[in-house]
Amino acid sequence: MVSTTAVKRALTALATRTDTATRPYVAVIDEAEAARTDLRRAAGFVDSVGLDRLSEAVATAERDGDEAAAERGRASLAAYRAFREAATDGE
């Protein structure tokens, strides 16, 4: 299981690294996509990164013309919104 602290630490490291070709918005989208497969990891992503930052990453991907990353980000946003709706459906 991945802790929220571990997710925060990994994303911070990815966002501040200068020795990688991975753009920060791609790192956010990659983590959002990967976290969807595990409920705890998904909750940690939403708690530590948030859907607003994922939305910003999608917008940046679109501005940079990275349609593949933008599409993956949009798919992740839709999944997280569906998770949220399912979680609050009984309320």
Q: What is the pLDDT of residues 44-73, one digit of tens each?
A: 899 888 999 999 999 999 999 999 999 999
Counted domains in the chain: 1
Segments forming the whole domain that contains residue 84: 4-88
Whole-model pTM?
Answer: 0.74
Angle, CA of 19, 62 and 84, to the nearest 5°? 95
Coarse DSSP helix, strand, coil percentages of the chain, rounded to the nearest 5 percent: 75, 0, 25
Residue 39, C-beta contacts closer than 8 angstroms, at least 6 positions apart: none
- Segment 30-47, tens digit of pLDDT: 999 999 988 888 888 998
| C-alpha atoms less than 13 angstroms from C-alpha of 81 in its C-beta half-sphere | 10
- The pLDDT, as a whole number, for residue 17 is 61
Average pLDDT, the chain: 86
> Please, what sign has the CA dihedral across residues 39, 42, 48, 51?
negative
Q: Residue 3's pLDDT band (boundaries 50, 70, 90)? A: confident
Share of the chain above pLDDT 90, in %: 47
